[in-house]
Structure 1
Amino acid sequence: MRFWPVLGVALSLMANAVLAADYQDSKDAEKLIEEMVQEHQYDPEVLKRVFNSAARQQSILDAIARPAERTKTWHEYRQIFVTPRRTKAGLAFWQEHEESLARAEQEYGVPAEIIVAIIGVETFYGKHRGKYRVVDALSTLGFDYEPRKKFFRKQLKEFLLLSREQQFDPLDLTGSYAGAMGFPQFIPSSFRAYAVDFDQDGQIDIWNNPVDAIGSVANYFRRHGWKQGDPVVTRARVSGQQYADGVSDNLKPGQALSQLQSLGWEPLELPTSDDKVRGIKLQGEHGSEFWVGMHNLYVITRYNHSTLYAMAVFQLSEELKDAMPRQ
């Protein structure tokens, strides 16, 4: 990661301006520049150079149209993320950063295995952090991806603010096709809200510093309501004619456990509180699987709004916990 003074950023933008011009005459880019000048007192010339360099990437539009969370069954999705190879690498990551993970667990109340599993699912512990320039990804999606232009346009503005606040070169940062960055794959708004300088070296660096990434993930979960010591999800048996009425596609738990039980659901582990729960049906390797999701599973879906994602994180965390030698 390079940290640039304001003059250095301006000079870098000038040097890169000739590399692309997909948004040089874009009305959307012009409007965003006007808003950033009015709302955040940005230098318009600096922003013009950014968008003169930003490149539209068709591969980004193709990738976002077919996310694994919407195109795969649970069995297929699980095979990608819950594997011996990922568990082995996660164990090595945990052992290397055991002190930082223990401190994060103590300060934020989030289990070390959940933090490691998030980083493992997101980037294979930092090995796959994304190769797209973030400015290209967010410009492409913010100006040319009709289904979610509003969301990504907001992230583009957050990214520009983040670059100025941290004195990063906005043309230098890389990430995923959706503009997610670093070990934990934070989108810009998440970085600005939840990223922390966990090693207290004066810089927040989730790109190259796994300690900052660990603290940032833990802070994200605490801020989204993780309940220390509570279960996440449990398998269930179902019976009778009404169990299908207990299946919910709503990520947020909205049923009393007694209501689910009255429909023929028998969780193998009971919740430790009176929080609402959620009945889940997944297509597993050997047929239908039934699960009862609790509050902490919902917290995991705040990171990625997908039941499959949350289940993969949880099951990988269980594999890691079982593999980690405890003192």
Structure 2
Amino acid sequence: MQFCCHGAWRAGTGCLRGGPALGLGREKAMKRYAFALALVLVSGWLAAAHGGVDAGWQPLMDRLAADGLDRAFVERVFAGAGVDYEPSIMARKVDAMVRKQFEPRPAPTKKTLEASNYRQFLTPASIEAGVRYIRENRAAFDRAQREFGPPPELICAFLMVETKLGTYLGDQDALSVLASLARASGLGQIAPYMKTLRGDAERSAYADWAAKDRSEWGFRELAALLRYAKAKGQGPGTIPGSIYGAIGICQFMPSNALRFGVDGDNDGVLDLFTPTDAIVSVASYLRGHGWVPGMTSEQRDKVVYAYNHSELYVLAVTTVAERLKARLGG
């Protein structure tokens, strides 16, 4: 999944799901569930009072229309797709940002990689599956390399790590995820769901900034998703996605689908859920983020990092690519 830059933040400028966290007191747990229940009840009441659309969506719908999307289209989407508001999505996102800001981890090693969930992609069976995928889609990989530069083994490594070569496309509704991120515009809406604040003022200030920043990001991605779906002729509410709204075999954020997506099979439709379009689009994205022939491994790693801002992810993708290349005889 691609991540946008989180931006700059300084303290004082003002600028993964389930039950309560371990150690949370009974009273706090009850308050948390009471708060969540209240949100559900209020949302249900508002939806009933406004013809099936939660009135809490109205400011967001107005922004989408002001951004150039057809208002009637936006209203149909929110009325008919069953868009659910879930503040815990933003809480999970901000928790991850707080951990990265205040609890930095050491640079990953091969040992770290072997102990991580990424190890599933390093097994002989996984590498063989990747080799078969390259051979089965050789024309698409050849076009991707010819037009944009990245080699088949690197493109395939992304698709393996992102969606297991398209066999797992996410179990979330991308529309509801991105709409929830866009709507949750501050700490007040997500604090009951967060696990990293620890009553710390600096963490809370950062979390509030992060929520506002990611809300703006979520809005941009939501608008892009609606445009992508409309161009594809697909209902936005039927597009599966990741926990933060990435879509397709290549797990592009919607804005990257619009910017770097390529109709690889020339059928007139950009469909990132088809292998050819996904393969060529990954190559397009990598070139757009600095890929050039003959680059050093350090330069390559910077390009891979642009796809997902995680050093462990970079190590996973490049290691898988190296093993694919060796197996292919390159």
Amino acid of the structure 2 residue aligned with 1:164: K
Inter-partner Cα distance in structure 1 for 2:306 and 2:326: 25
1:311 to 315, 318, 322: 315
Q: Does the residue aligned with 2:73 lie in a helix, a strand or coil?
A: helix
Q: Does the residue aligned with 1:136 lie in a helix, a strand or coil?
A: helix
Inter-partner Cα distance in structure 1 for 2:117 and 2:128: 14
Unaligned runs of 5+ in 2: 1-46, 187-210
1:299 to 285, 297, 303: 303
Higher helix share: 2
* CA displacement, residues 175-205 of structure 1 (integer Å, 9 cap, x when unaligned): 1111000100011100000111111111111
Cα distance change on mapping 1:160 and 1:41 into 2, 3 Å: closer
Amino acid of the structure 2 residue aligned with 1:166: K
- Cα pair 1:129 1:175 within 8 Å, conserved: yes
* CA displacement, residues 113-154 of structure 1 (integer Å, 9 cap, x when unaligned): 110011111111111111211111101222126421111111
For 2:172, the equivalent position in structure 1 comes to 132
Mapping of residues 1-327 of structure 1, within 5 Å? 24-26=54-56, 29-43=57-71, 45-52=72-79, 53-57=82-86, 60-61=89-90, 63-64=92-93, 74=108, 75-78=111-114, 79-82=116-119, 83-84=122-123, 85-144=125-184, 146=186, 147=211, 148-207=214-273, 209-232=274-297, 294-325=298-329
Unaligned runs of 5+ in 1: 1-16, 233-293
Cα distance change on mapping 1:119 and 1:312 into 2, 3 Å: same
- Cα pair 1:22 1:54 within 8 Å, conserved: no
Amino acid of the structure 1 residue aligned with 2:174: V
Inter-partner Cα distance in structure 2 for 1:143 and 1:77: 36
Cα distance change on mapping 1:145 and 1:312 into 2, 3 Å: farther
What displacement does 1:50 show?
2.5
- Cα pair 2:142 2:152 within 8 Å, conserved: yes
TM-score (norm 2): 0.67
- Cα pair 2:172 2:241 within 8 Å, conserved: yes
Q: Does the residue aligned with 1:204 lie in a helix, a strand or coil?
A: coil
For 2:26, the equivalent position in structure 1 comes to none
Inter-partner Cα distance in structure 2 for 1:183 and 1:323: 23
- Cα pair 1:22 1:55 within 8 Å, conserved: no
- Cα pair 1:64 1:177 within 8 Å, conserved: no
Higher strand share: 1
Amino acid of the structure 1 residue aligned with 2:135: Q
TM-score (norm 1): 0.67
Q: Does the residue aligned with 1:30 lie in a helix, a strand or coil?
A: helix
What displacement does 1:295 show?
1.8
Amino acid of the structure 2 residue aligned with 1:46: F
Inter-partner Cα distance in structure 2 for 1:191 and 1:76: 32
Q: Does the residue aligned with 1:171 lie in a helix, a strand or coil?
A: helix
Asked which structure has the greater RCO (Cα within 8 Å, sep 6+), the reply is 2
Residue identity (%): 28
Inter-partner Cα distance in structure 2 for 1:124 and 1:41: 34
